């Protein structure tokens, strides 16, 4: 079946040819190859390492500099207690099923989804309906074809049940999935073996700090927790002013059960995360929202998805926020800025959409959540998650550590408040409560106003109260009026205290890089062997290719001068002096995505300048060294395009391209 996924020039995308280019040009490979390669771990060679650095530079400029964010570098090794409090120890897990005969581990939800989707697809084929095949992962297709060998028509009721099952799979517990696997006879598609019931496996890599083993820790699964725990320092740095945002670029680690699809699901990956802290009572407005109000975005909302649709509606962010489709201005502002970043690095706008999370995909505390998805040959892939984490993280860390993680700001209009107080007479309570004293104090401090009022009435009537205290024998302590007293007091409140809410755009750099590489890949018309990586000049890993026309010692002084000038201009370059034809040299460097080529020829020796070649059009112009360097410099800064250079400098009718 023809792939739905096309290259930028509308050609069929050939994943094998693309992957072979990535290998040939050492963009990336599986880590530790001589030892048999480790799944889910990749090494980047020079082209990809440089590309990543360029993308990160643009990210820093686009977000950190432009939005005045506070860049942070927090530790990757994270104590157990931090991730226990954040909920990762208990909840950051996936269910797996084991094929008992082969030992293969399958992620339970992926297994169910793959098998049920295969059955639905085969039902469509049996009914003679068109099968949409955006997901062209060959491994997945192979699994699907193994799961269902020939087209089988399903009962209407079964079909409906399957569709419902897929829509609610995210809500399933491990036991639910176990029951589904049994009920629908779901087996390992590769072996057709029955699988063992789902078992929950935490995705964090565990380690320990120091040699005693007494301080368990994890490699962080996200950069966010370090940023939350730096909150008070950030607030001080921003002169106690909200909104404020921090940003962190660093590695995260997830022991994925079944890493697959190359860079898309790996075990160690670079994240770029922003935590934007905002006053919840401000309606989460954003001071710069007016500047993006009219920008249109492709939004695939919840309602469309529940009706089985997958086509986004192009809407201005102003309308989307006004209609509450997007919950608030801050979230909306970030969706626009994410799209603008993607455009800046050369992502194909037709292969980008924002998908709203279904209610069952969001964390219980999240107010709204949108993923920026990029289309590549594996389908639509989440590359940036943009979530409203509300006040959850700061609140839980404050509760667990007693550290003040709130904002305190003066009230414009101080107000008189009446409050019930609960005071312990420590001199008298000490001898009675002994080691439980501090626990009782904490329990009294945690009593609500309503509770304090009720207790004051009990105290009045009975002369004693019973207080629930965590960590004491029996969980309760009886306190008499000689020890504790309740009173209604009036005071003037001058400060407001609140826990900020957090909007978090979280970028997976590897997924973006992979999608970008697919988006810029194409082959020259009529010659599938001549592939090109059309990286924008602003982020191409190498900016200039220098090619002397032939191997000739007379070119040496000019080449040295050229290299010195390129170094001076801080332009990365590669000199290709190999013996092959100039056309071949250009062709093989097009695969590295080098946007410009300078040819040194015999006329150059006579002081008649150099030719400058544009990778995408293969057109050439001629100019002096000054003119050429100026043009390249401007194009690499995004200040000028090739079309305008072509108007300024005389076009050169070179014969290099034909000299294959």
Nearer Cβ to ligand ATP (64/384) = 384
In whole angstroms, what is the distance from residue 72 CA to residue 92 CA? Answer: 24
| Segment interacting with ligand ATP (CB under 6 A) among 20-28, 265-273, 308-316, 462-470 | 265-273
Name which position in 88, 121, 140, 265 contacts ligand ATP (CB under 6 A). 265
Nearer Cβ to ligand ATP (337/511) = 511
Query: Closest separation between CB of residue 513 and ligand ATP, Å?
Result: 10
Tell whether residue 338 is a contact of ligand ATP (CB under 6 A): no
Tell whether residue 119 is a contact of ligand ATP (CB under 6 A): no
In whole angstroms, what is the distance from residue 330 CA to residue 287 CA? Answer: 9
Quickly count: other Cβ atoms within 10 Å of residue 28's Cβ. 22
Helix (H), strand (E) at residue 71 = strand 70-72
Query: Closest separation between CB of residue 214 and ligand ATP, Å?
Result: 30
Helix (H), strand (E) at residue 559 = helix 556-568
Tell whether residue 87 is a contact of ligand ATP (CB under 6 A): no
Tell whether residue 357 is a contact of ligand ATP (CB under 6 A): no
Nearer Cβ to ligand ATP (63/642) = 63
Query: Closest separation between CB of residue 506 and ligand ATP, Å?
Result: 4
How many binding residues for ligand ATP (CB under 6 A)? Answer: 14
Nearer Cβ to ligand ATP (137/256) = 256
Nearer Cβ to ligand ATP (263/566) = 263
Query: Closest separation between CB of residue 37 and ligand ATP, Å?
Result: 17
Do 113 and 135 form a contact (C-beta atoms < 8 A)? no
Query: Closest separation between CB of residue 648 and ligand ATP, Å?
Result: 41
Nearer Cβ to ligand ATP (317/338) = 338
- The pattern of x and - marking residues 235 through 254 that bind ligand ATP according to CB under 6 A reads -------------------x
Query: Closest separation between CB of residue 226 and ligand ATP, Å?
Result: 15
Tell whether residue 256 is a contact of ligand ATP (CB under 6 A): yes
Tell whether residue 459 is a contact of ligand ATP (CB under 6 A): no
Nearer Cβ to ligand ATP (14/382) = 382
Q: What token pair was written down for 157?
A: 């009721």
Tell whether residue 121 is a contact of ligand ATP (CB under 6 A): no
Q: What token pair was written down for 509?
A: 């750099």
Q: What token pair was written down for 183?
A: 């009920």
Do 515 and 381 form a contact (C-beta atoms < 8 A)? yes
Nearer Cβ to ligand ATP (507/596) = 507
Sign of dihedral through CA atoms 116, 121, 122, 124?
positive
Tell whether residue 269 is a contact of ligand ATP (CB under 6 A): yes
Name which position in 97, 325, 384, 440 contacts ligand ATP (CB under 6 A). 384
End-to-end CA distance of the chain: 34
- Could you write out the three-class secondary structure of 350-410? HHEEEEECCHHHCCCCCCCEEEEEEEECCEEEEEEEEEEEECHHHHHHHHHHCCCCCEEEE
CA 164 to each of CA 158, 170, 433: distance values in angstroms, whole numbers, following the listed order: 10, 11, 57
Q: What token pair was written down for 445?
A: 């401090």
What does DSSP say about strands 573-575 and 596-600: parallel, antiparallel, or unpaired? unpaired
Name which position in 87, 280, 298, 385 contacts ligand ATP (CB under 6 A). 385
Tell whether residue 107 is a contact of ligand ATP (CB under 6 A): no
Tell whether residue 382 is a contact of ligand ATP (CB under 6 A): yes
Whose tokens are 């973006």? That residue is 512
Sign of dihedral through CA atoms 28, 72, 78, 369?
negative
| Segment interacting with ligand ATP (CB under 6 A) among 229-237, 381-389, 397-405, 432-440 | 381-389
Nearer Cβ to ligand ATP (202/506) = 506
Q: Would residue 262 be called left, alpha or beta, if left means φ above 0 and alpha means ψ between -120 and 50 degrees?
A: left
Do 352 and 339 form a contact (C-beta atoms < 8 A)? yes
Among 57, 523, 65, 540, smallest CA distance to 346 is for: 540
Q: Dihedral angle at the C-alpha atoms of 325, 330, 336, 338, nearest 10 degrees?
A: -120
- The pattern of x and - marking residues 270 through 299 that bind ligand ATP according to CB under 6 A reads -x----------------------------
Do 134 and 379 form a contact (C-beta atoms < 8 A)? yes
Nearer Cβ to ligand ATP (363/605) = 363
Determine the residue with CB nearest ligand ATP.
Answer: 508
What is the number of helices (H) and of strands (E) in the chain? 23, 28
In whole angstroms, what is the distance from residue 431 CA to residue 505 CA? Answer: 53
| Segment interacting with ligand ATP (CB under 6 A) among 74-82, 378-386, 436-444, 607-615 | 378-386
Query: Closest separation between CB of residue 228 and ligand ATP, Å?
Result: 15
In whole angstroms, what is the distance from residue 182 CA to residue 200 CA? Answer: 17
Do 398 and 229 form a contact (C-beta atoms < 8 A)? no
What does DSSP say about strands 296-300 and 352-356: parallel, antiparallel, or unpaired? parallel
Q: Footprint of ligand ATP on residues 495-514 (CB under 6 A)?
A: 506, 508, 510-511
Nearer Cβ to ligand ATP (198/510) = 510
Nearer Cβ to ligand ATP (374/592) = 374
Do 138 and 112 form a contact (C-beta atoms < 8 A)? no
Whose tokens are 């301080």? That residue is 215
Query: Closest separation between CB of residue 266 and ligand ATP, Å?
Result: 4
Total residue length of the chain: 660
Tell whether residue 339 is a contact of ligand ATP (CB under 6 A): no
Query: Closest separation between CB of residue 154 and ligand ATP, Å?
Result: 28
DSSP class of residue 221?
A: S
Nearer Cβ to ligand ATP (511/543) = 511
Query: Closest separation between CB of residue 134 and ligand ATP, Å?
Result: 17
Nearer Cβ to ligand ATP (224/582) = 224
Name which position in 266, 339, 465, 635 contacts ligand ATP (CB under 6 A). 266
In whole angstroms, what is the distance from residue 184 CA to residue 195 CA? Answer: 12
Nearer Cβ to ligand ATP (48/484) = 48
Nearer Cβ to ligand ATP (67/361) = 361
Q: Footprint of ligand ATP on residues 638-657 (CB under 6 A)?
A: none
Name which position in 72, 177, 383, 562 contacts ligand ATP (CB under 6 A). 383
Among 491, 519, 477, 195, smallest CA distance to 351 is for: 519
- Using CB under 6 A, list all residues that contact ligand ATP: 254, 256, 265-266, 269, 271, 382-385, 506, 508, 510-511
């Amino acid at each position: 079946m023809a792939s739905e996924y096309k290259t930028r020039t509308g050609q069929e995308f050939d994943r094998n040819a693309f992957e072979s280019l990535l290998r040939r040009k050492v963009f990336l490979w599986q880590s530790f190859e001589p030892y048999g390669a480790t799944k889910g771990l990749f090494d980047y060679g020079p082209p990809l390492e440089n590309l990543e650095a360029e993308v990160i530079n643009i990210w820093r400029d686009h977000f950190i500099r432009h939005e005045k964010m506070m860049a942070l570098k927090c530790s990757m090794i994270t104590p157990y207690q931090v991730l226990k409090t954040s909920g990762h120890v208990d909840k950051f897990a996936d269910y797996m099923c084991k094929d008992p005969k082969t030992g293969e581990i399958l992620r339970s939800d992926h297994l169910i989804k793959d098998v049920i989707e295969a059955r639905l697809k085969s039902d469509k084929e049996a009914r003679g309906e068109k099968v949409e095949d955006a997901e062209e992962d060959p491994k997945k297709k192979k699994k699907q074809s193994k799961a269902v060998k020939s087209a089988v028509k399903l009962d209407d009721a079964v079909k409906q049940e399957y569709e419902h099952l897929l829509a609610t799979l995210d809500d399933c517990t491990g036991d639910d999935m176990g029951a589904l696997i049994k009920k629908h006879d779901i087996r390992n598609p590769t072996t057709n073996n029955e699988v063992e019931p789902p078992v929950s496996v935490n995705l964090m890599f565990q380690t320990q700090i120091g040699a005693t083993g007494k301080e368990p820790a994890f490699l962080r699964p996200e950069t966010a927790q370090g940023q939350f725990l730096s909150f008070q320092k950030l607030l001080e740095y921003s002169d106690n002013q909200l909104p404020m945002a921090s940003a962190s670029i660093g590695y995260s680690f997830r022991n994925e059960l079944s890493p697959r699809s190359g860079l898309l699901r790996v075990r160690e990956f670079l994240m770029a995360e922003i935590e934007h802290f905002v006053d919840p009572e401000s309606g989460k407005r954003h001071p710069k929202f007016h500047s993006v109000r009219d920008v249109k975005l492709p939004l695939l909302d919840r309602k469309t998805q529940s009706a089985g649709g997958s086509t986004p509606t192009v809407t201005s962010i102003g309308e989307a926020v006004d209609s509450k489709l997007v919950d608030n201005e801050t979230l909306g502002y970030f969706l626009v800025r994410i799209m603008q970043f993607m455009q800046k690095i050369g992502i194909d706008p037709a292969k980008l959409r924002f998908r709203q999370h279904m209610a069952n995909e969001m964390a219980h505390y999240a107010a709204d959540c949108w993923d920026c998805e990029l289309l590549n040959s594996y389908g639509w892939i989440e590359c940036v998650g943009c979530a409203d984490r509300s006040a959850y993280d700061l609140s839980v860390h404050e509760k667990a550590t007693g550290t003040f993680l709130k904002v305190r700001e003066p009230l414009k209009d101080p107000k008189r408040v009446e409050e019930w107080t609960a005071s312990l007479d420590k001199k008298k309570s000490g001898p009675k409560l002994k080691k439980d004293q501090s626990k009782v104090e904490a329990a009294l401090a945690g009593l609500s106003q309503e509770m304090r009022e009720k207790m004051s009435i009990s105290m009045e009537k009975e002369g004693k109260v019973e207080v629930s205290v965590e960590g004491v024998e029996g969980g309760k302590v009886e306190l008499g009026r000689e020890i504790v007293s309740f009173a209604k007091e009036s005071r003037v409140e001058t400060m407001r205290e609140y826990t900020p809410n957090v909007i978090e755009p979280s970028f997976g750099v590897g997924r973006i890089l992979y999608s970008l590489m697919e988006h810029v890949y194409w082959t020259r018309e009529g010659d599938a062997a001549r592939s090109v990586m059309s990286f924008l000049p602003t982020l191409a890993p190498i900016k200039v290719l220098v090619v002397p026309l032939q191997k000739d010692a007379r070119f040496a002084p000019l080449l040295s001068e050229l290299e010195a000038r390129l170094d001076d201009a801080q332009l990365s370059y590669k000199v290709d002096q190999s013996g092959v034809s100039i056309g071949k040299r250009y062709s093989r460097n097009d695969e590295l995505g080098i946007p410009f080529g300078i040819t040194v020829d015999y006329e150059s020796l006579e002081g008649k300048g150099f030719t400058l070649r544009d990778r995408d059009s293969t057109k050439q112009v001629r100019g002096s060294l000054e003119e050429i360097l100026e043009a390249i410099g401007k194009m690499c800064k995004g200040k000028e395009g090739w079309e305008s250079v072509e108007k300024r400098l005389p076009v050169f009718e070179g014969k290099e391209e034909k000299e294959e």
